[in-house]
Structure 1
Amino acid sequence: MEQRQAKAVHQVVSGLLAAGLTSALWAAWLGWDQKRDVHADGTTTGPYEAWQVAGLALSLLVPVCWMVVRRHVVGAVLGVTVGLTVSAYYDWSDDASGLFGVGVGLVMVGGFVGSAVVAALVVLVRPGGRAVTGM
């Protein structure tokens, strides 16, 4: 019973660490760019550029893969999902249109699916190729 509790505590701690790291990566890649770009024809884009979002996604591969290899699959997937969701909510909640909720929901679903797919791929290619217990 104690070993089971220790595994649960490790999953929770790893999830919290993943959420914190994900929020820090969001701030590093996306947090500093808050202005929309106005083009000559009056249209606006932004505030993020494609390279910033790609940089965030690629940066998240490292902690997710590292955590999955160390058998913290649940913490990796849920931590990244929570970190992205909370960061998007915090960053976008001042939107006057009220549509930020849709974007936050899409970030939550995308973060979960993306991190789960990466975790599954890491489990499949990991030496030994065995499924992770507790998943």
Structure 2
Amino acid sequence: MRLHRPVLRATVPALVVAGVAMAAWAAWLGWDQGYDVRGDGAVSGPYQVWQVAGLAGTLLAAVCAAAARGHSAAAVGGTTVGLTLAAYADWSDDASGLFIVGVGLVMVGGFVGSAVVSAVIDTLRRERPLTR
């Protein structure tokens, strides 16, 4: 069976963005599983602010790049799917089952964040078309 170009044009960018999202999760968050206990007994973590900011910056670059090339739907879908799968894989060993709430929040946040960024890029593209 032969894939048609329109299918590839829609699928490949989404898969690339999803791969970037999963790799970014692994690079920025996937290695840090320990909580920090301060001297006063307060617990924080497992992620530090710089790790989440690094993930957000990486995803911002990927979404902007895809949307600027006219692949806004792929940017939104790929980011949402990639982050959701990465969060599920990372947190699914939680015996309480509450991890699914966090995964759902990551899914909603990834969707909303990438949709807003893609909408801004789309608006800018319409106002100032890219020259090639």
Question: Quick check: 1:123–1:129 contact (8 Å CA) kept in 2?
Answer: no
* Match in the other structure for 1:117: 116
Structure 2 counterpart of 1:133: none
1:51 CA displacement: 1.3
Please list every run of 5 or more consecutive structure 1 residues that lacks an aligned counterpart in the other structure.
131-135
Consecutive unaligned residues of structure 2, counting only runs of 5 or more, are none
Deviation at 1:8, TM superposition (A): 3.3
Q: Once superposed, what is the RMSD of the aligned Cα atoms?
A: 1.5
Shift of 1:126: 2.0
The ranges of structure 1 where at least 4 consecutive aligned residues each deviate by more than 3 angstroms after the TM superposition are 127-130
Amino acid at match of 2:119: A
Paired position in structure 2 for 1:24: 23
What's the secondary structure of 2:112's corresponding residue? helix
1:79-98 matches, cutoff 5 A: 79-98=78-97
CA shift for structure 1 position 7 = 2.8
Would the aligned equivalents of 1:85 and 1:108 in 2 still touch at CA under 8 Å?
A: yes
Q: Following superposition of structure 1 onto structure 2, how do residues 23-42 of structure 1 map, counting pairs within 5 Å?
A: 23-42=22-41
| Alignment partners' CA distance in 1, 2:19 and 2:81 | 9
Matching residue of 1:108: 107
Deviation at residue 40 of structure 1 after TM alignment: 1.9
| AA partner of residue 35 (structure 2) | R
Provide the rounded CA distance (Å) in 2 between the counterparts of 1:16 and 1:79. Answer: 6
Q: Secondary structure at the match of 1:125?
A: helix
Q: TM-score by structure 2 length?
A: 0.89
Partner of 1:48: 47
**Structure 1 position 111, deviation (Å):** 0.2
| Range moving further from structure 2, 103-112 or 40-49 | 40-49
Alpha-carbon distance between aligned partners in 2 of 1:16 and 1:63, rounded to the nearest angstrom: 12
